[in-house]
Amino acid sequence: MFDQQTIEDLEFSKIRELLIDYCVEDSAKLAVKSIQPFKEQESVTRELLIVNDLKKIKEEDQAGFPRLEFQELLNELKVLRIKGATLEVNSVVKIYDASILINEMLAFFERREDEFVYLKSEFNSVYFTKEIIEPIEKVFDKRLKIKNDASKLLSEIRQQIKSTQRQVNRNFDRVLKKYQGKGYLGDTNESFLNGRRVLSVVSSYKRTVDGKQFGASKSGHLSYIEPEENAILNADLERLEEEERQEIFRILKALTAEIHQHNHLIKAYQQLLVRIDFIQSKTKLGILLEANLPQFTSESEIDLIDAKHPLLYLNNLKEKKKTLPQSIQMNKFSRMLVISGPNAGGKSITLKTIGLIQLMYQCGLLIPANENSKMGWFHSILSDIGDNQSIENELSTYSYRLKRMNHFLKVTNKRTLLLLDEFGTGSDPELGGALAEVFFETLYNKKSFGVITTHYANIKLKASELRNAVNASMLFDTNSLKPLYKLSIGQPGSSFTFEVAKMNGIPEELISDAKSRLDVNRVKMDELLSELQEEKTNLSQAKMAFQIVEEKSLEAEQIFIDKTKRLNEKLAQNKRIGDENNKYISSGKKMIQFVDKFQVNNRKANKELLQSINKYLAVEKTRLDNANKLEQLKASSGLPKKPKKKKKKLKPAKTIKLGSRVKLKSGGKQIGEVLELDKKVAIVMFGLFKTKVEVEKLFAI
């Protein structure tokens, strides 16, 4: 179920308007206007994979993929259905362009056989062919004008037209000079009327100029006259032009008959191009929103990572403002999310972000969130957001909301996602709060999913008691008295009524007076929530600062390791070079000694020297051979390698069970006690604060 009220509440119509702006032709725009959620998740999955394929092509700027520029073929298909009908020149050109475009797309996919398989599957209804293109190219030139040689008769007619036009122009130029010299013509000398050159004659001389008058200027000062010499020639010209039109009509009629043979394929062109136009509009919106293809799950589940409200993101983009992302997780263990916190703190935006992104996903649109986000499936998305009234039925806001709630109570099930903003407001706070609590518990028992914003303390308390409900709060900086627009899961938030009043300039004495009129326990509870939220904010900031320091430390450690490695490599290289140099120096010194002992013209002494050199070389050769043999022996001896150090087996962690004392793995110092335990989720009491935590995030002590 997907009603008009939900469309209005989530402003989905604005998403449609963006899609319409990206469409090329009217048929795709019409398809966008009627866009709605798919009935089956398999269909959504396929649609998103197709859109993502085109997004990849656009972002990677794939060479060879043509721009989607075309004109619809609806009128052309109507003409082709009529026996003996003839296509106009413009219609033939549209069919030609469509065939070229489809062929280019098919050629693109042919070159990338294993890529973009989902988008490629959309082209199964068409095939590569030149049987439409080639007959058209025989008739039309590269400028898509009828060729002179489209037929022998047309060629002859056009030659006669050119010849006649040349004669007309020669006659006209001669007469023009004649009357120009006599001063009979106006400043412009000549004009064009009905495609003919005429003399611009000063009206007082019109009777002295031979020819047929075709009209006069608005002032009557000039008369437009066709020279008598051209009267017969222009008549011939009109006759030839009519013959040209008839011959072109005959050529187009024959061409239409040839194109008609491919009527079925042209119909497939129309359907495919409109479909691709529709897909492209989704792709362009996805690129604009920096949207991604999420992971899919058939369960009713939402796991949004760094999600942004699409309309808020686009608005902030125009104003050059940053949009803070939200991360929200909802599953069967946390299916009712109750968000509290100050007004103007972002509760409604968070609720609308979840609803609109889920709606976009189920309509086959990429979502503005991290690609690791996981999207589940709901059979209905129902909302009650804002100050709605039914003027026709004379209903107040509260009465309208009660009627809507009555509808929800009837149709809600475990595949329903409810979006309830300012839950229970509109009536007496105490009575309305009691009724809201009953509604909340009833919807919970129907196993529905829901995102609820509220200020009611009893709803927050009920959420903390129910096993599969979760409190969350919008963070508020009590020092600057400004909302942080960040969602914190696990505890309810204070409305910061007095802090917000102070921020808006309400005098301190009035705020103190208001506090004195409240029940003491209520004020203490609100102060306690404020303090808890402040501590959580400080802890979150400290954790973030620690993570930054830790990242910098790890980065510095890696830099040190890399530098040490490079230094050791350099030292080893220098040692090898030093050893080689020492060897060469030693050998060089020995050779210098031999050179010094050499005596010119003393054969006996030199003979002894040569023997010493040979002996030295033999010793060195033996030493090198022995060293090489030793290396080879070591390599082939199969000596046992140094045994690898065995990794120490980690002792298994203590099993978490009811009554276990636990800590958070993320680094929390406080020790808690497990009060309730499911397979994956535990309810833990940390001091005075009870919360729901996934078991994998805890360790027993």
DSSP letters of 57-103? HHHTT-TTPPP------HHHHHHHHSTT----HHHHHHHHHHHHHHH
Residue 650 has pLDDT above 50, yes or no: no
Q: Which CATH architecture has domain 4-132+262-288?
A: Orthogonal Bundle (1.10)
Residue 649 pLDDT level (bands cut at 50, 70, 90): very low
* 228-256 mean pLDDT: 92
What dihedral do alpha carbons 663, 669, 675, 680 form, nearest 10°?
-40
SS3 440: helix
* 457-466 mean pLDDT: 88
Residue 444 has pLDDT above 60, yes or no: yes
- The least confident of 3-12, 100-109, 344-353, 620-629 is 620-629
- Residue whose tokens read 């009209």: 215
Domain ranges of the chain: 4-132+262-288, 150-248, 295-517, 544-615, 661-700
Q: How far apart, in whole angstroms, are the C-alpha atoms of residue 447 and residue 287?
A: 36
By C-alpha distance, which of 378, 535, 530, 536 is closest to 1?
378
pLDDT digit string, tens, across residues 535-547:
666 666 677 677 7
Strands 185-193 and 211-216 come out as unpaired
In order of 232, 238, 682, the CA distances from 664 in angstroms are 104, 95, 12
* 60-83 mean pLDDT: 88
Q: How far apart, in whole angstroms, are the C-alpha atoms of residue 1 and residue 413?
A: 12
Count Cα neighbours of 423 within 13 Å in the Cβ-side half-sphere: 33
Q: What is the pLDDT of residue 311?
A: 95
pLDDT digit string, tens, across residues 559-610:
888 888 888 888 888 888 877 787 778 777 777 877 777 777 777 777 777 8
Q: How far apart, in whole angstroms, are the C-alpha atoms of residue 514 and residue 537?
A: 27
Question: Higher-confidence residue: 527 or 94?
Answer: 94
Q: How far apart, in whole angstroms, are the C-alpha atoms of residue 364 and residue 39?
A: 11
* 404-417 mean pLDDT: 92
Q: What is the pLDDT of residue 394?
A: 46
Over the range 641-662, which residues count as b (16 or more CB within 10 Å of their CB) and which as e? eeeeeeeeeeeeeeebeeebeb
Q: What is the pLDDT of residue 372?
A: 95
Q: Which CATH entry fits the domain spanning 295-517: 3.40.640.10, 3.40.50.1100, 3.40.50.300, 3.40.50.10490? A: 3.40.50.300
Q: How far apart, in whole angstroms, are the C-alpha atoms of residue 173 and residue 165?
A: 12
Q: Are both 4-132+262-288 and 150-248 of the same fold? A: yes
* 371-399 mean pLDDT: 76
Fold (topology level) of 150-248? MutS, DNA mismatch repair protein; Chain A, domain 3 (1.10.1420)
State what percent of residues in the chain have pLDDT above 90.
43
Residue 331 has pLDDT above 50, yes or no: yes
Residue 486 has pLDDT above 90, yes or no: no
Q: How far apart, in whole angstroms, are the C-alpha atoms of residue 42 and residue 297?
A: 11
Q: CA 376: distance to chain centroid?
A: 20
- Residue whose tokens read 């039109």: 245
Q: Are 201 and 224 in contact (CB under 8 A)?
A: yes
